[in-house]
Structures are given as C-alpha cells and as structure tokens.
Amino acid sequence: MPLSNPAEWVTAFLAATIAIVLLGRSVPWAALDPAGQQASPLAAAALSYLQRPGLLASTGLLLLRLSIGLLMIHHGQEKLADPQQFASTYVASLHLPFPLFFAYAAGFSELIGSWLVILGFFTPLGALALTSTMAVAAYQHILTGGFNIYVLELVLLYLGGSLAILLIGPGRFSFDAGMAPLLLSGFGGAASADDSRLQPAAIPIESR
C-alpha cells in the first residue's frame, strides 16, 4: 500500500535506518574479513563487495541508498498510478512495442528496486533496476529534448547515484552484508577452525 502522508514516510525511513544500523553493529566484522581466511577468490571478492570496509564509507553508502531509494519510490508509484498516461507520454516516444507493458515494467522496477536499495537486500538487483530505468529515461529526454541540462539533471543524479551503489556495493549497514557469510558458506567460503579435524591423514600399514 502506498505511503500516503509525511508521517508514514518518516516512520518508514527511521524504521529502515534503525534496522539496518542494528544489523550492521551485530555482525562480527573482524571475523568476516576475507583476508587471511581460506576462501575461494570468488567468495572473497563477493565478501569484499558486500562488506565494504570502513565505518564512514558504509555510513555514506547507507545515506546514499536511503536518499536514492526513498525519492525513487515516488516515481514508481506515480507511473503505476496511471500507466497508460506514462506509456502514451514517454514510452511511445521511444517507439517500443507494447508500451503499456514497458510502463508497468518501469514502474515496478523503480518501486521494488527502491525498496531493495533502501534495505540493502539483494542490492545489486535493485540498483541495476534503478540504473536501467534511469538510463532509458536519460535516453528518452535526449531523444526528445536534446542535451538540456535542466531536463537531464535530475535523471542524471538518480542514474549516477544508483550506478555508484551498483559498482561499490551496499556497505556494511545492509541486510546483504549480514547475510553474505551464510549465503557464501556453500560456495567456497572461509573454512572454519573445526574443519582441520576432518582433513585426510595417512595411516601407516605394517607389512608382514
């Protein structure tokens, strides 16, 4: 259900922020650092991406995610409130088939992608959805109005912000960072200390 008044927006913002910060503080980051652990290169790279080191950097990413996500929700709700109008006004100018379908796709991409970015939950998918819709929006503005900075500036800000989140990762204050060790444990993640007891050992056999 769409948020209908500023009080609900503030409540949702504070709830998401508190939940993400508490999650970030509850994870033993030093123990999850892939450096020095027996992890596959893929798992180490994924952990490094999802658990971007640095408190200030993670705080900055949290603020960027909340800003981009909360503002983009409005655009997704606006498209879904009247998809036919959006299809006729914007999608039709791109000469794409099934404009109404793409209108719904853009609306849901912005709405669902925004929540994924806000929560830091499957952040790459959410950031990719926002980046894709903003790239198409920038192309549409250039196609119809040329390189008009007053028309393009908001779209390019959203595009740059979502692309930065996609490339840098969600930061430590995210659900992705908290779930990363569990999700990657079966894909070449770090070996635990107890695994040494399960290593094969040579058994001497006496000959007669």
In a domain, 207, yes or no: no
pTM of the full predicted structure?
0.71
The pLDDT, as a whole number, for residue 145 is 84
Give the chain's domain count: 1
The answer to whether position 85 is within a domain reads yes
| pLDDT in the model for residue 84 | 93
Distance CA 31, CA 27 (A): 9
**193 is written with which tokens?**
């200390």
Confidence (pLDDT) at 34: 44
Residue 205 covered by a domain: no
Q: What is the structure's pLDDT at 194?
A: 42
Q: What is the pLDDT of residue 196?
A: 44
The parent domain of residue 115 ranges over: 7-188
Contact between residue 125 and residue 105 where contact means Cβ atoms under 8 Å apart:
no
> How confident is the chain (208 residues) per 10-residue block, as mean pLDDT?
55 64 53 50 78 83 94 92 92 89 94 94 95 94 88 93 94 86 59 43 55
Could you tell me if residue 1 is inside a domain? Answer: no
- pLDDT at residue number 36: 45
